[in-house]
Amino acid sequence: MGEDFAAALPANAWNWMAVWRRNYLLWKKSALASILGNLADPMIYLFGLGTGLGMMIGRVEDTSYVAFLAAGMVATSAMTASTFETIYAVFPRMREQRIWEAILCTQLTLGDIVLGELAWAATKAFIAGTTITIVAATLGYAGWSSLLYALPAIALTGFTFASLAMTVTALAPSYHYFVFYQSLFLTPMLFLSGAVFPVTQLSGTFQQVAHFLPLAHSIDLIRPEMLNRPPGRIALHIGALCIYAVLPFFLSMVLLRRRLMR
Amino acid sequence: MSNVAIDLTGVMKSFGNKLVVNGLSLTVASGECFGLLGPNGAGKSTIARMVLGMTRPDAGKITVLGVPVPARSRLARKRIGVVPQFDNLDLEFTVRENLLVFGRYFGMSTRAIKAVIPSLLEFARLESKADARVADLSGGMKRRLTLARALINDPQLLVMDEPTTGLDPHARHLIWERLRFLLARGKTIILTTHFMEEAERLCDRLCVLEHGRNIAEGSPHALIDEHIGCHVIEIFGGNPQELSSLIRPYVQRIEVSGETLFCYAPDPEQVRVQLRGRAGLRLLERPPNLEDVFLRLTGHEMEK
């Protein structure tokens, strides 16, 4: 059994790229629509909430509310882009389109496929998060130099949430189940992770919960960088995101093997 | 290099309480076309999946192209081409892009893939469709593209799960012709089918499966000679029970399948004499074929 599981893991460090390139080739056909689609939501939140609430709230943590919100929206857009890719695009590739089935007949392993899909979802998250960072920097809500440090954090955020979503995809019997993940996990996390208001506004228990939320770690990485502030415990945040990326990867491998390779 | 392409020994597989493959042993030699025949649910597709390492046997040993499967099935799959039962082409891509993307799954460089695409398109008779979207192809064209795709890595072995199911006769004959071309070039083919004609035309050897067991094995002609060995008269248009009691003394054996009577008769003329003068009967005398073998062995009616 252990030997079989090992055989399903990624075969080498580059096989996954074939899957990534397949998705990239498809994405190129409608790149503009895809980018705009991923941007619309966070931009509307940023400017709708940012300007509207910003006028009422004034300053938050010694900065304008829009600037505070910008980092939250960057992390959230990365989370949403990679989650949606991994559930709504990967699930049909795995099921009705039978694309995974076709790939499993080649020299690629299940692990290669999963890794390629995760890398692609992280790429889409990277594009979405980076575009918002650039918009924020252009409008003066973030420093240009911070871009350099924020970008790897955005990519890691994308990979982490893709990995978490992959376990959901592996478990879901049908599309209907994805809405639970969105409304019971992602949406509450948005409010508990300091994306739209500081975590310090929460009650003590919820502040404790926030320590365990991947989005909170992502925002804690990205916000100081965008606001040109001294970074906090970088190693802790990166470590937490890595754990949330690696453990679900292996969990989804177990689940997908049970689902696809009976 | 061994001349055994596939070797299964005592393979068992069940899903839940359902035993799907029951102690199956078989050997496919390099360069031959081997058929797995059986009704739906006989375990054909499961065997094909096990050969590819996509399903793990509960017991038994599988070796494919000299490699133990599933433990090292990736090595075997490098040299295998697969035509699955259901088309799983990438519908959002063109014909050419499908081949390009699939070649990359085998680790081929873009340049190497582009070098083989023209010959694959020619093989599949899809030259004029290279830039058409797959979604716009006919069923026969999709199957031919699936076959071309299976050849992109220049495989030694082709695993085909019902390669012509759902095709019209023209499309089916074209696929058969292409498969014979591949066999002539020395490829090994294992195919599952429930079309007797397909098995008879293509297979050097075949085995008949029922409930996951191998109930007969041999060349199509040997199986026909061994299990039937005489002419067949099909009779329809009468009451099968009444007719069968009338002609039973003059035939070796009678099978009733639906409203048709299959009479296995060493001397067909005697049967004709018995039925002379009966209105509304239609008689068809023909040489025996694999379908007769199948009916005899399994007692099931094959799906046509």
Taking only the tens place, the pLDDT of each residue in A101-136 is: 999 999 999 999 999 999 999 999 999 999 999 999
**Which residues 6+ apart lie within 8 Å of B201 measured at CB?**
B176
What residues of chain B lie within 8 A of the CB of A107, using their CB? 74, 77-78, 105-107
Q: What single DSSP character describes residue B127?
A: G
Identify residues of B whose CB sits under 8 angstroms from chain A CBs.
15, 52-56, 70-74, 77-78, 80, 82, 84, 86-93, 97, 100-102, 104-107, 153
Within a domain: A36: yes
Contact A101 B84 (CB under 8 A): yes
Among residues A94, A85, A88, A51, which one has the least CA distance to residue A69? A51
What residues of chain A lie within 8 A of the CB of B89, using their CB? 102
The ipTM is: 0.91
Within a domain: A238: yes
By C-alpha distance, the chain B residue nearest A103 is: B105
Determine which helix (DSSP H) or strand (DSSP E) holds A156, and give its type and residue range. Answer: helix A147-171
Q: A4 in contact with B at a CB cutoff of 8 Å?
A: yes
Mean pLDDT, rounded, for B138-161: 95
Among residues A223, A42, A227, A220, which one has the least CA distance to residue A142? A227
Within a domain: A209: yes
Structural domain count, chain A: 1
Give all strands (DSSP E) within A97-151, no chain letters. Answer: none
What is residue A1's predicted lDDT score, i.e. its pLDDT? 55
Can you tell me which residue has the tokens 């453990």? A247
Mean pLDDT, rounded, for B136-159: 95
- In angstroms, the CA A84 to CA A72 distance is 18
What is residue B2's predicted lDDT score, i.e. its pLDDT? 66
Confidence of residue B303 (pLDDT cuts 50, 70, 90): very low
- In angstroms, the CA A250 to CA A256 distance is 10
Distance between B56 CA and the closest CA of chain A, angstroms? 7
Within a domain: A170: yes
What residues of chain A lie within 8 A of the CB of B112, using their CB? none
Distance between A3 CA and the closest CA of chain B, angstroms? 7
Contact B84 A26 (CB under 8 A): no
What residues of chain A lie within 8 A of the CB of B97, using their CB? 25
Contact A3 B71 (CB under 8 A): yes
Contact A98 B92 (CB under 8 A): no
Within a domain: A80: yes
Within a domain: A60: yes
Structural domain boundaries, residue A33: 16-260
- Nearest beta carbon to residue B56 from set A4, A22, A99: A4
Contact A22 B77 (CB under 8 A): no
Q: What is the pLDDT of residues B259-281, one digit of tens each?
A: 888 899 888 888 888 888 887 88
Q: A262 in contact with B at a CB cutoff of 8 Å?
A: yes
